[in-house]
Amino acid sequence: MKSGNSYYLTTPIYYTNAAPHLGHAYTTIAADTIRRFKGMQGLNAVLATGTDEHGVNVERAAQAQGKTPQEYCDVIAEEFREQWRTLGLAIDRFERTTSDRHARNVQDLFLRCRDRGYVYKGQYQGQYCIFDNLYVNEAKPGDPCPECGRPTETVTEENYFFRLSKFQDKLLDLYNDRPDFIQPDTRRNEVIAFVKQGLQDLSITRTSIKWGIPVPGEPQHVFYVWFDALTTYLSAVQGENLWPADLHLIGKEIVRFHAVYWPAFLMAADLPLPKKIFAHGWLLFENDKMSKSRGNIVRATPISKVLGADALRYFLLREVVFGQDGSFSYDALVGRYNSDLANGLGNLASRTLTMIHQYCGGAVPESGGASHIAEAATKTTAMALDYFEKLDFSRALEGIWGLIAAVDKFIVERAPWKLARAGGEARQQLEETLYSAAEALRIITALLYPVIPESAEKIWWQLGYTHPISEVRTRDLNWGRLAPGQLLGAVSGVFPRADAKASIERMRALETEEYARQQALLGKSVPVPAPRADSKISIDEFLKIDMRVGVVKEAAAVKGSDKLLHLQVDIGEAKPRSIVAGIAGAYKPEALIGRKVAIVANLQPRKLKGLESQGMIIAASLDDGPPALVSFMEDAPIGARLR
């Protein structure tokens, strides 16, 4: 039985085929913010995250590194843990899908569904996307995945199937009876439209791979990723009376699995359903979707090292309307930091506390405060708490900064420095001004604790409190709780102003270092980065790249890889170059024989799947779409240099 004072929320269970980046951090920062806000409401908030460690992608990644899948997953799972520790995120439960407890829960869910007649054994033949762990119905061999655009693989195997087709009406009733089950409304409408098209039964096991949780009594079957991964939400809090989850926080690209498959699995097993699923939008990097192929994925730790984790937290939750797509850029980040944090909150805290030290001996003055500031603070508090409850972080923060601006204006109009010099009757007005500013600062700081916890705590200590800000509850936000006579702590700057050019250069340099470190962790080489659209190189730098015309003499598939082809390319040298290229998804080996191509001829050789690659074939692609080889409209001689 779930405790009435608890609040259980989750992030996605992050897949270990990649190291953590800003997209992972965005969801987890938002979840951490909600957890802290629920704590302010007096609830026992528990945040669970974890790693999804099974599947063919992990198996292949481990094999490429010469590791067992478990050894590979141990490294990547620890990388996620360390990332959250570095960012100061309050993670209560970290569940791995390789844990024994989780395996038992998956098997138990399967047996419950099977015993109730919702699971059967059948034969699957069709297309499967290993990148999205998705069976693609009605696709033909070679067709692209509808989610990522990369080629699907043909699989034929005995599977266990879940009778998803039996749940169309049940799911539509759920969405109708509980309108808040899926949020925001745009995602809810998408899911309803998908379900109304009709649901097909779903394969939930594989026999073609070994790295997974075995089906009870039939170890040749292992559970398919979504039946496995989604159950992690149960495993993370097993035996703690915290289920059902109050909130699953996810990215919009996985809403179907959470809002269709997961409630159907739970209905079939006769288990309680989560209360809400909220799917946020994508982060765009300088107006382009972050993706591996664009080379524009950004990591969180370089930002935190330069501006602090709170600067990133504030930017993501203030700049992006939660639930919609939003843009990230270094320029916007530093601009928001300087204008809102350094010039706004930081300046208000510094000037208010410094004047109390200077004019009141470092003690909070005796006053009830100015009535219009008290009224503004009361209204802002009610508004911000309401928006936080709705996960509308941007509007909550907008309102809080409206109060900061109002207090700043009040200080300028009252001019405490003049009142202090005037003395006499002006003393009462001075004390009213400084109390109003300090009490407003107390309320602002407490409201901001869920968003910028480290910085809020620093201001809290400077206000003279000896109990941690994490103990503050929403009932403490009423006006007048700042005790007259309370001695302030030492004043120190919380948000030093950042030099934009230097800060951005430092973040970019650290990003390059962090990317290289993570690539090494994944056992991958660091490719030559594509130049940024706004960067320029000299003609001398360009001439260092030796691009040549070649003709493919031989082509063959690379054993153990569905992406790579091994080519012998003649560029007019004594013997053809050996080149390993990731173009198998778009080109058949036999179709390349005799084709003229362009290659980069002066790269350092490297080994791929035990084969030496003595150059790089030049191809174009958009997002994660298939590659297209560069070709020539006119006859270009073999060995000719591209200029």
Look up residue 308 and give its two tokens: 């602090």
Look up residue 564 and give its two tokens: 């790579």
Q: What band does 224 get if pLDDT is binned at 50, 70 and 90? A: confident
d(CA 443, CA 475) in angstroms, rounded, equals 11
Q: Which helix (H) or strand (E) holds 203?
A: strand 202-203
- 214 three-class SS: strand
- 122 three-class SS: strand
- Give the tens place of pLDDT for each residue, 300-321: 999 999 999 999 999 999 999 9
Per CATH, 6-280 and 539-629 having the same topology is answered no
What is the model's pLDDT at position 292? 53
d(CA 607, CA 602) in angstroms, rounded, equals 15
Tell me the one-letter amino acid at 296: N
Q: Return the domain boundaries, the chain.
A: 6-280, 331-528, 539-629
CATH class of 331-528: mainly alpha
**Angstrom distances, CA of residue 216 to CA of 112, 259, 307:** 12, 27, 51
Inform me whether the pLDDT recorded for 135 exceeds 80: no
Tell me the one-letter amino acid at 64: A
Counting every residue written for the chain, the total comes to: 643
Cβ pair 406, 373 in contact under 8 A: yes
Residue 354's φ and ψ, nearest 5 degrees, are -65, -40
What CATH code is assigned to 6-280? Answer: 3.40.50.620
d(CA 227, CA 265) in angstroms, rounded, equals 8
Please list, in sequence order, all residues whose beta carbon lies within 8 angstroms of the beta carbon of residue 212, skipping any fewer than 6 positions away.
54, 55, 206, 222, 223, 224, 228
How buried is residue 581: exposed, middle or buried, by Cβ count under 10 Å (0-12/13-18/19+)? buried
**Angstrom distances, CA of residue 511 to CA of 295, 504, 515, 520, 561:** 12, 10, 6, 14, 30
For 539-629, which CATH superfamily applies? Nucleic acid-binding proteins (2.40.50.140)
CA 271 vs. chain centroid, Å, equals 29
Instruction: Say what percent of the chain tops pLDDT 90.
Output: 71
- Give the tens place of pLDDT for each residue, 136-163: 766 778 778 876 778 888 878 899 999 9
d(CA 541, CA 535) in angstroms, rounded, equals 13
d(CA 433, CA 431) in angstroms, rounded, equals 5
What is the model's pLDDT at position 483? 97
- Give the tens place of pLDDT for each residue, 103-118: 999 999 999 999 999 9
- Give the tens place of pLDDT for each residue, 519-565: 988 887 765 555 555 557 777 777 778 899 888 999 998 876 777 88
Q: Which of 101-105, 403-407, 428-432, 614-618 has the lowest mean pLDDT?
A: 614-618
- Give the tens place of pLDDT for each residue, 10-46: 999 999 988 999 999 999 999 999 999 999 999 999 9
- Give the tens place of pLDDT for each residue, 433-488: 999 999 999 999 999 999 999 999 999 999 999 999 999 999 999 999 999 999 99
Residue 469's φ and ψ, nearest 5 degrees, are -65, -20
Cβ pair 191, 260 in contact under 8 A: yes
